[in-house]
């Protein structure tokens, strides 16, 4: 029988048209990188203004692809915060390797689903190999299990759920938290000051309750007090609770603190608790010889998370989980369904990543890590990470040399928090508790205003954070494009903004402020940078 002819709609681009568009896209990307040091880091536009730029109706009919690409330069870039800029210091956002951009295009073209081996043979084996490379890079057992996830929260979720299902004294996989066999509350532990908020979100997602996270007192250097941890464990066990996991910070979010990993490992081993190392920010710092002692004990962790989209400079999104015993990871997530594998045995099978993590459908995240690791090599990464550390140390030197800034800690890795605090105000803070409180409240206001204003200037992007209850400036120097000159430009701008805002705001924001206005000499460095132009 002759097949019936049916109308067929083909909306794919023909090869020549696709090639032409592709060349244009590459030109757009190349031009972007060519100007990345000059663009305004933050667009300085309100959400209403940005929303208005994209206010358009759902297209009923298709549009010419060339006109669609036009929006990249007319709408997208003018409303973009440029995380790839050497002067982007907000949150902990990596700067993005250029070869990874090409990797993203290639991975999208084949559209492999790396949930199972059959739909993604090459992608699965690349991910398996890259996970082993990451483990080798940080000195973790290369026989571990692991995978790439969206980021630190999902990586920590995977780690903590694996901990719960392997440490709890009944089968939480089948019975969950509603089992009659459960006794007391499950508890996990992290440092009170520098413990990351993602751990609280994980406890929430697991329905353990946010209060399941126990905050262990910190030492003066912001690291976990292990003696206090042991006391809390004893108290909770006496109360009938079930401790199951201790989370150590490996490069914390505000000051780059590394908890005493070896001591925590010993406590967890003795008490049969899961030792999880949250290295989302700083675990890769172990490759620096001068920092290696900080990470002693990292290799003993039952699980370790790190984010390649942070200090490995991989474009978003890319988190990573490593679990020492791969079988324990599989046990936490394994499930069976005939349609996933077929019902008859075959030699054409391999690692199914859906057995080892929360996602069943997964993108080909590994390709950009695999390619970038090959492009930079360990030696290249070591040099780039060292540059970031040196920039952070230089920032600390500038802060300590200035009479108007206050150092709050010594830099450990690449994250540094400090405060604009004019010397004349600091000298008066000890007069009375009320006076000290008024000055601190004013400095909180002043530092927030400085951060807001430098964002709007376009020169740099940084945020404030809270250090022991005080609002301070925080810079995350994890762009592989940042130079010492960038640090000096930004510091000069911060000082200039501090001078201007302090003169304007002190009399209105603080009691007796007018009488305390400084008789200042000219600024220490009047060579202040001009903000870059909008793209």
Average pLDDT, stretch 258-287?
98
Rounded CA gap, 407 and 398, in Å? 10
By three-state DSSP, how is residue 184 classified? Answer: coil
Q: For 448-487, how does the pLDDT look when each residue is reduced to its tens digit (9 = 90+)?
A: 999 999 999 999 999 999 999 999 999 999 999 999 999 9
SS3 letters for 360-425?
CCCCCCHHHHHHHHHHHHHHHHHHHHHHHHHHHHHHHHHHHHCCCEEECCCCCCCEEEEEECCHHH
> Strand 319-323 vs strand 303-306: parallel, antiparallel, or unpaired?
antiparallel
Residue-averaged pLDDT of the chain: 93
Q: Is 482 helix (H, G, I), strand (E, B) or coil?
A: coil
pLDDT of 343 reads 55
DSSP three-state, residue 213: strand
The pair of structure tokens assigned to 64 is 């010419």
- Cβ-contact 366, 126 below 8 angstroms: yes
User: Taking a C-beta distance cutoff of 8 angstroms, is the pair 388, 477 a contact?
Assistant: yes
What is the structure's pLDDT at 510?
Answer: 73
Query: pLDDT confidence of 4, banded at 50, 70, 90?
Result: confident
What share of the chain in percent tops pLDDT 90?
86
Q: Is the whole model's pTM more than 0.75, yes or no? A: yes
- What φ, ψ does residue 353 adopt, rounded to 5°? -65, -20
The conformation of residue 155, written as its DSSP 8-state character, comes to H
**Could you tell me which residue, 164 or 529, shows the higher pLDDT?**
164
Structural domains of the chain ordered from first start: 113-340+347-363 (3.40.640.10), 377-516 (3.90.1150.170)
- DSSP annotation string for 280-336: TTTGGGGGSGGGGGGGTTGGG-SEEEE-HHHHT-PPSS-EEEEESSHHHHHHHH---
> Range with the lowest mean pLDDT among 149-158, 310-319, 329-338?
329-338
416 vs 339, residue with greater confidence? 416
Confidence of residue 6 (pLDDT cuts 50, 70, 90): confident
Residue with tokens 């993108």: 363
310-324, 347-361, 419-433: the lowest-pLDDT one: 419-433
Is the pLDDT higher at 418 or at 532?
418
Is the pLDDT confidence value at 489 over 60?
Answer: yes
Give per-residue pLDDT as tens, 293-305: 999 999 999 999 9
**Contact, 242 vs 287, CB < 8 A?**
no
Position 319 pLDDT exceeds 50: yes
How far apart are the C-alpha atoms of 219 and 226, rounded to whole Å? 9
Of 256, 219, 293, whose CA–CA distance to 393 is shortest? 256
pLDDT of 524 > 60? The answer is: no
> CB of 191 within 8 A of CB of 224?
yes
Does 218 have pLDDT greater than 80? yes
Q: Quick one: pLDDT band at residue 429, thresholds 50, 70, 90? A: low
DSSP character at residue 12: S
Instruction: Give the C-alpha separation, 448 to 474, whole Å.
Output: 11
For 343-357, write each residue's pLDDT tens digit. Answer: 556 777 899 999 999
Q: Give whole-number Cα distances, 14 to 17, 18, 20, 82, 120, in Å.
A: 5, 6, 10, 33, 26
The model's pLDDT over 44-58, given as tens digits with 9 standing for 90+, comes to 999 999 999 999 999
pLDDT per position as a tens digit, 15-40: 999 999 999 999 999 999 999 999 99
Exposure of 435 in the CB half-sphere (CA atoms within 13 A): 11
Confidence class for position 535, pLDDT limits 50, 70, 90:
very low
**pLDDT given at position 113:** 97
pLDDT the model gives residue 194: 96
- pLDDT of 519 strictly over 70: no
* Residue 521 pLDDT: 42
The conformation of residue 117, written as its DSSP 8-state character, comes to S
**CB-based contact 398:491 (threshold 8 Å):** yes
pLDDT at 526 over 50: no
Q: CA torsion angle for 73, 76, 81, 87 (degrees, to 10)?
A: -20
Mean of pLDDT values over 90-118: 96
Q: In what order do the strands lie in the sheet with 213-216?
A: 145-149, 319-323, 303-306, 274-278, 242-249, 186-191, 213-216
How many Cβ atoms are within 10 Å of 96's Cβ, its own excluded? 22
Q: What is the mean pLDDT of residues 327-332?
A: 95
């Amino acid at each position: 029988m002759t097949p019936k002819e049916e109308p067929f709609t083909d909306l794919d681009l023909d090869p020549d048209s696709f090639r032409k568009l592709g060349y244009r896209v590459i030109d757009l990307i190349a031009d972007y990188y060519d100007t990345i040091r000059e663009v305004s880091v933050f667009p300085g536009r309100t959400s209403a203004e940005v929303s208005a730029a994209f206010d358009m109706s759902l297209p009923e009919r298709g549009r010419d692809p060339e006109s669609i690409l036009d929006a990249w330069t007319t709408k997208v870039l003018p409303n973009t915060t440029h995380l790839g800029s050497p002067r982007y210091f907000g949150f902990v956002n990596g700067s993005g390797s250029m070869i990874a951009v090409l990797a993203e295009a290639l991975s999208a073209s084949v559209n492999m689903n790396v949930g199972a081996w059959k739909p993604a043979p090459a992608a699965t084996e690349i991910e398996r190999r890259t996970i082993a490379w990451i483990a080798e890079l940080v000195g973790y057992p290369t026989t571990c299990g692991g995978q790439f996830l969206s980021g630190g929260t999902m990586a920590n979720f995977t780690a903590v759920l694996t901990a719960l299902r392997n440490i709890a004294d009944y089968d939480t996989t089948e019975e969950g938290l509603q089992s009659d066999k459960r006794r007391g509350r499950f508890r996990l532990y992290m440092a009170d000051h520098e413990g990351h908020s993602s751990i609280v979100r994980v406890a929430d997602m697991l329905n353990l309750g946010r209060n399941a996270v126990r905050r262990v007192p910190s030492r003066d250097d912001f690291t976990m007090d292990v003696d206090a941890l042991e006391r809390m464990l004893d108290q909770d066990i006496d109360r009938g609770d079930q401790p199951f996991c201790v989370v150590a910070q490996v490069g914390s979010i505000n000051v780059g603190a590394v908890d005493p990993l070896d001591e925590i490992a010993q406590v967890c081993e003795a008490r049969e608790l899961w030792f999880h190392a949250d290295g989302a920010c700083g675990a890769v710092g172990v490759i620096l010889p001068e920092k290696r002692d900080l990470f002693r004990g990292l290799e003993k962790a039952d699980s370790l998370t790190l984010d390649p989209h942070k200090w490995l400079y991989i474009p978003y999104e890319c988190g990573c989980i490593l679990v020492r015993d791969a079988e324990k990871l599989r046990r936490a997530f394994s499930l069976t369904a005939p349609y996933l594998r077929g019902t008859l045995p075959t030699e054409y099978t391999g690692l199914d990543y859906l057995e080892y993590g929360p996602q069943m459908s997964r993108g080909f995240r590994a390709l950009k890590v695999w390619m970038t690791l090959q492009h930079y090599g360990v030696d290249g990464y070591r040099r780039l990470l060292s540059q970031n550390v040196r920039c952070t140390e230089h920032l600390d030197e500038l802060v300590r040399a200035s009479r108007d800034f206050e150092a709050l800690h010594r830099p450990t890795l690449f994250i540094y928090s400090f405060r604009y605090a004019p010397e004349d105000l600091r000298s008066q803070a000890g007069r009375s508790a009320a006076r000290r409180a008024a000055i601190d409240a004013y400095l909180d206001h002043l530092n927030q205003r400085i951060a807001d204003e430098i964002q709007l200037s376009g020169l740099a992007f940084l945020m404030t954070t809270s250090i022991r209850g005080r609002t301070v400036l925080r810079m995350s120097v994890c762009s592989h494009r940042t130079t010492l000159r960038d640090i000096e430009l930004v510091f000069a701008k911060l000082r200039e903004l501090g001078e201007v805002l302090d003169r304007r705001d002190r009399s209105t924001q603080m009691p007796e402020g007018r009488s305390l206005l400084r008789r200042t000499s000219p600024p220490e460095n009047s060579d202040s940078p001009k903000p870059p132009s909008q793209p």
